[in-house]
Structures are given as structure tokens and as C-alpha cells.
Amino acid sequence: MAFEPREEQKQLKYQELRIFSDEELHNYTEEELKNFKIKHDIPFCEELEKGRWPSFVADAKREALHRKKLAQDRMMIERDVVEDLLGQLEVSFKHGETHWKHGGIVGVFGYGGGVIGRYSDLQEQFPSIAHFHTMRVNQPASKFYTSDYLRTICDLWEYRGSGMMNMHGSTGDIIFLGTFTEQLEPIFFELGHVLQQDLGGSGSNLRTPSCCIGKARCEWSCIDTQDMCYELTHYYQDELHRPAFPYKFKFKFDGCPNGCVASIARSDMSFIGTWRDEIRIDQEAVKAYMGGEIMPNGGAHSGRDWGQFDIHKEVINLCPTQCMWMEGDKLMIDNKECTRCMHCINVMPRALRPGKDTGVSILLGAKAPILEGAQMALLTIPFMKTDPPYDNIKEKVVEPIWDWWMEEGKNRERLGELIQRQGIPKLIEVLGIPAMPQMVKEPRSNPYIFWKEEDVPGGWKRDIKDYRSRHKR
Amino acid sequence: MDDLKKAILDFAENNKKSKFYFSDMEKAVKVEFPDAKARDVKKAATALVNEEKLIYFSTGSSTMYGLKGRGQTEDH
Ligand code: HEM
Ligand code: HEM
Ligand code: SF4
Ligand code: SF4
């Protein structure tokens, strides 16, 4: 189905929106850069420039020089913000302590997220970073941009912020690093009204959902990750901007179990595309792989000679459930034992493809360590169909989970910790689904599953005489 | 809605702390209005933010609410 944006999208033209001229953008030479010293002494930071890898210190110096050579009236905050940032970082390395103050009431009007207030606690020494607020910009699904868009936001941020940004933060957003409070509303206005660009989530909000490249470029995608991500981002705008959760909550969408956005480890609710029918096999292509006519792994490891392709060594023996075998020159798969790990498909993409009856597996509760340690998500719903506008997912999964977590979750408790605390039986009761073998790693090693009295025929009571008729004392 | 807003403001004004979590605000409102849903409380709180009576306070990772003009009023 063709993509339908919620509102008409203007085509952005950098030439109409630009703030800086070409001369201003290219305003220093490599020679000048070599001789350039920032105003603070930063030997510790400069250690990070050594070695062959790229360094943010080297990048920051370029930006510092670039700003130094712009006229101060071409920037709304101080030009030496980058120099002060490096200066303070140097002090932090010496002290082994951060000098950022945390939090505050800064934001844009009506939004409880998207801006993260940060202040220096060394403002006399580093006045240009007295305020250093971060803004999160909600990236488009799969992070497709036009160069007009990228140039426009770079100009905007050079003009009203530090000029430094992350492409992208772990949640997925573009991160604008460092500006003063007075600049927040003008930036928000420009983003919202001119660039049709919203801020992302922060704090106790739904965080900016993110997805893999999906059907846009990847033949393995079992679901339209971009459409799901876009739909849920719009549908849950209120949750994204107005905090009422116990803590953060993340959705991520992977089109297949290869998990390119690692939703299984990085989101409270992870959607992973999968199939419930059979892996499609092209036996002719299997033979072509075996005969060396097609390079395995799409040629990805062709930088060195690995010898003749061996389907037993490289595919069949590596299948985690041992559900593949050869019958003569035909490759066979016992699909009911296949865990959809993608290995065989990754090695022989022209011979094997995911099935056609596709949907998602939904996994809950992954998180980084805060209250409890880091954990991966729990496979909770092995298979669900996904048809826009995804009412089944919204009504049967997302909202019951949120209602439970908002009611029972402690402040700063992630969904995964609530599941640990109250147990899987409670979780599946909330969702109204049966316990399934896919939920436990192996029998007896998972402490979460217990029988309830009503699940056991006859309950906890037994007729002792009946029992004794079969079991002597 | 107006009742919920008043209950929220009562809670915020009489709270010992100038910042509080949504869930504590919700619990306080539910003492008076046991049938109120979290979503209703949230709508009322959002309205109060838009009327500039409540403010958000965020550490970046979690968010609290406060009464405008109480406790931390500057943005420092
Ligand atoms: C030839 C004799 C026996 C055989 C073949 C046998 C076999 C087994 C098997 C297959 C299990 C299940 C393991 C699992 O769930 O992973 C088990 C569990 C158990 N057996 Fe035996 N068993 C034998 C004798 C005994 C005896 C004599 C006792 C006690 C005096 C006993 C006590 C238990 C207990 C307590 C468990 C549960 C262990 C647990 O929960 O981790 N077994 N046995
Ligand atoms: C005051 C004495 C005891 C206490 C407090 C106690 C406590 C426990 C606890 C908490 C468990 C774990 C249950 C669970 O899976 O959550 C357990 C399991 C077990 N206990 Fe005990 N126990 C006691 C005495 C005994 C005795 C005397 C025996 C054997 C003669 C015994 C044999 C077992 C076995 C075999 C299990 C494993 C059950 C299974 O997983 O199927 N226990 N006990
Ligand atoms: S997760 Fe799967 S579908 Fe998405 S980009 Fe990666 S391989 Fe393709
Ligand atoms: S996808 Fe994984 S589990 Fe399934 S057949 Fe291929 S290698 Fe085996």
C-alpha cells in the first residue's frame, strides 16, 4: 500500500531556507586548522585525537575554528561555545567528575519532553556553556533524509545552537547538543512551522519510536516497519509529549529477526517481523550455491578465500534447532522446529526466503541497568498479524500494558522490572493470553511460571481416600 | 474536568515537596474521585500546564510535575 502522510508534506528547498552563504560555510583552510589552538589547554582531550580512528575532539576543533571565523552576529549564542565545552570536558577528566547540572524546568510550551535542560556548574570559567540544553528531533522512519533537509537543520543549529549534533542518539532522534533557554522556542517554531518537524520524547514519556530500514530497501522485511513506526508515533502523540508514565517507554520495530535496530535489547516493547508458514526454498538456487555459482552471504565475506562453500558446515550444522537436512541434492527444513533465526536465509538469500504469512512477534521488557540489571526482552506474543492501522496491537497489547504499568509501576520502574516484580502470570493475565512454551527458556530454570488453583483439575484439594486407593502408605 | 483540576491544584499546593511524580498526583486525586482514570487525570494536568498553572520538571530521564511559582522558578 502506498504511503499516506498524515498531513501534506512540503518539499524543503535549501536554497530558500538557508541562513549561511557558501563562503561562510567554507571559511577556513586545512592549513589554518593545523595551526589552530582553542583558547583552553586540553591535553587530556587531545589524547583522544591520537590513533587512526575518527575523534569527536578533532571534529569539535573544526567547528570551533569555523565559528571563530564567522561574524558573531551570525550566531545567536556565543561563538566559543565549542571551546568552552572542550575546556570543561578537560576539567572533568582531571577531576574525574562531571560538571553538568542535571535537569530543570526548561522546555517548549505545552511539551513535557524533547528538551533536556543542562547547565554548567563552572559558569564563571566557561560562560558560553552556562546553558547547554539538548534538543531531541524526531527522526523520520528509517532515517531517510534529503540533503536539503540536512543542510537546513545544520544551518538552523549553527545559527541558534552550538552547531554540534549527534546523528543519532541511541533512542533514534537527531540530537542537537547545547543551546540557551531563549533559543528553544524560536527553534521549535522553525522546526514545527517551517520544516514540519516535531521534537522527540524524553523524560517519563513514550520515547521516539524507531525502526529498521524495512520494506523500503530490505527484501527480508516481514512487516512494513516504517508504516508501523509512523502510525504509532502519530497515534500516541499525547504519550510522546505529555509525561504520565512511571518512567521512559520505548517502541522499536525490526522487520525480521536479524534485528537491525536491536529492538529485542533496546525497547520496552519490541516488534520483530516473522512468518508462521514455511521458509520458501528455491532448490535450483541451493544447487547453485553448492556448486559455487552464487557467492554465499551475498558476497559479504569475499575479501579472503574461504575455500569451497560447504552447505553442511556453513548452514545445516549451524542451524540452532538442527531442523535442516539434505535428501539427495534437495535441502529440507522441518519448519515447525525452525526458530526463525535467519541464519540459513542470510547465508543463501537467493535460495531461501522468509515465508509469506507474515506478522510480528512482540517482546516485552528489555532495558539497560537502572533499578535492576540489564535484560533482554521476554518473548510474550509469538505471532500477531499486522494490518494498518494496527488496532489489534493498540487495543490488545499496547494499551492494556500501559494501563497495568501506570497503575502498578513504581516511580522510575521500567516495564521489565514490573514484570520481574509481579511475575509473568500477572503479565499474561493483563494481556489475556495463555502461558506458552515460547515464554520460558527451558523447563525448570524459569521461576516465573506457576500454576493457579483454577488451572489445575480439582484445584489444590484432593480426596485423600481416592488417593490412598492408588498409593499405599 | 474542573473538579479534577481543582483536586490537582489542592494536592500541589498542600504538598510538602515542590516537585512530585504523576502517580502521586494521580493517587491523591483518586482519594477524592475514586472513579477517575489515569487518562482523565493526565488530561486535567495537561490543561493546567497549558494554563501555566503547572510546570514539568525533567531530569532528562524522568519527569515530575510542579506548581508554577513554587520551589524552583528560575530555569537554574
Ligand atoms: C532411577 C531412578 C530415577 C530416575 C530415572 C529419576 C529421573 C528423574 C527425572 C527425569 C527428573 C526430572 C528432571 C527435570 O525435571 O529436569 C527427576 C526429578 C527429580 N527426582 Fe528423580 N529419578 C530417579 C530417582 C529419584 C529418587 C530415588 C528421588 C528421591 C529420593 C528422586 C527425586 C527427584 C526430585 C526431588 C526431582 C525434582 C528435581 C528438581 O526439581 O530439580 N529421584 N528425576
Ligand atoms: C524448613 C525446611 C525447608 C524449607 C524452608 C524449604 C524451602 C524450599 C524452597 C523455598 C524451595 C523452592 C521452591 C520453589 O521452587 O520456589 C524448595 C524446593 C525444594 N525442596 Fe525444600 N525446604 C525445606 C525442606 C526440605 C526438605 C526436608 C526436603 C527433602 C527431603 C526438601 C526438598 C526440596 C526439593 C526436592 C525442592 C525442589 C522442588 C522442585 O523444584 O520441584 N526441602 N524448598
Ligand atoms: S531487521 Fe531484518 S528487515 Fe530490517 S533491515 Fe535488518 S535484515 Fe532487513
Ligand atoms: S532460520 Fe534458523 S532455525 Fe530456521 S531453518 Fe534456518 S537456520 Fe534453522
pLDDT tens digits along A175-220: 999 999 999 999 999 999 999 999 999 999 999 999 999 999 999 9
Nearest to B58 among A110, A113, A246 (CB): A113
Residues A187 and A223 in one domain: no
Please determine, for residue A274, whether its predicted confidence score (pLDDT) is greater than 90: yes
Which ligand is nearest to the Cα of residue A446, counting in written order?
2
Please determine, for residue A292, whether its predicted confidence score (pLDDT) is greater than 90: yes
A-B contacts at Cβ under 8 angstroms: 88
Assess if residue A39 is contained within a domain. Answer: yes
Cα gap A171→B60, rounded to integer Å: 13
The complex's ipTM?
Answer: 0.81
Count of structural domains, chain A: 3
Cα gap B11→A468, rounded to integer Å: 62
Contacts of A244 in chain B (CB under 8 A): 22, 26, 38, 41-42, 45
Give the end of a domain, one of A139, A166, A194.
A194
CATH number for the domain spanning A266: value is 3.30.413.10
Q: Where in chain B are the domains? A: 2-67
pLDDT, tens digit (0-9, with 9 covering 90-100), for A393-423:
999 999 999 999 999 999 999 999 999 899 8
Assess if residue A472 is contained within a domain. Answer: no
Quick one: A3 exposed, middle or buried, by C-beta within 10 A (0-12, 13-18, 19+)?
exposed
Name the closest-CA residue to atom 8, ligand 4. A319
Nearest to B42 among A181, A244, A403 (CB): A244
Specify the 3-state DSSP secondary structure of A114: coil
Residues A151 and A261 in one domain: no
How much is the pLDDT for A1? 60
Residues A239 and A342 in one domain: no
Name the closest-CA residue to atom 4, ligand 4. A338
Name the closest-CA residue to atom 2, ligand 3. A256
Give the model's confidence band at A374: pLDDT under 50 very low, under 70 low, under 90 confident, else very high.
confident
How much is the pLDDT for A468? 83
* DSSP calls for A309-359: --HHHHTGGG-TT--EEEETTEEEE-GGG-----HHHHH-TTTEE--SSEE
Cell of B12: 500541589
Which ligand is nearest to the Cα of residue A450, counting in written order?
2
Mutate to test the pocket of ligand 3, among A252, A254, A261, A271 (most ligand atoms within 8 A of CB): A254
Residues A435 and A292 in one domain: no
Residue contact A105–B56, C-beta within 8 A:
yes
How much is the pLDDT for B76? 41
pLDDT, tens digit (0-9, with 9 covering 90-100), for A2-43:
778 888 999 999 999 999 999 999 999 999 999 999 999 999
CATH number for the domain spanning A349: value is 3.30.70.20
Class of domain B2-67: mainly alpha
Specify the 3-state DSSP secondary structure of B40: helix
Residue contact A134–B60, C-beta within 8 A:
yes
CB half-sphere exposure, B49, CA atoms < 13 A:
25
Shortest CA distance from B57: residue in chain A:
A105
Name the closest-CA residue to atom 6, ligand 3. A260
Question: A444 is in which domain, residue-wise?
Answer: 210-275+358-455
Distance A347 CA to ligand 4 centre (A): 11
Residues A349 and A367 in one domain: no
Residues A151 and A174 in one domain: yes
Question: Mean pLDDT over residues B47-61, rounded?
Answer: 90
Cα gap A202→A204, rounded to integer Å: 7
The C-alpha angle with vertex A442 and arms to A272 and A420, in degrees rounded to 5, equals: 70
Residues A364 and A343 in one domain: no
Give the end of a domain, one of A194, A229, A247.
A194
How much is the pLDDT for A379? 93
How much is the pLDDT for A441? 60
Cell of A469: 486407593
Closest-CA distance, A182 to chain B, in angstroms, reads 11
Residues A430 and A363 in one domain: yes
CATH number for the domain spanning A147: value is 3.30.70.2500
Nearest to A104 among B41, B50, B75 (CB): B75
Cα gap A377→A406, rounded to integer Å: 19
Residues A163 and A301 in one domain: no
Assess if residue A204 is contained within a domain. Answer: no
pLDDT, tens digit (0-9, with 9 covering 90-100), for A131-162:
999 999 999 999 999 999 999 999 999 999 99
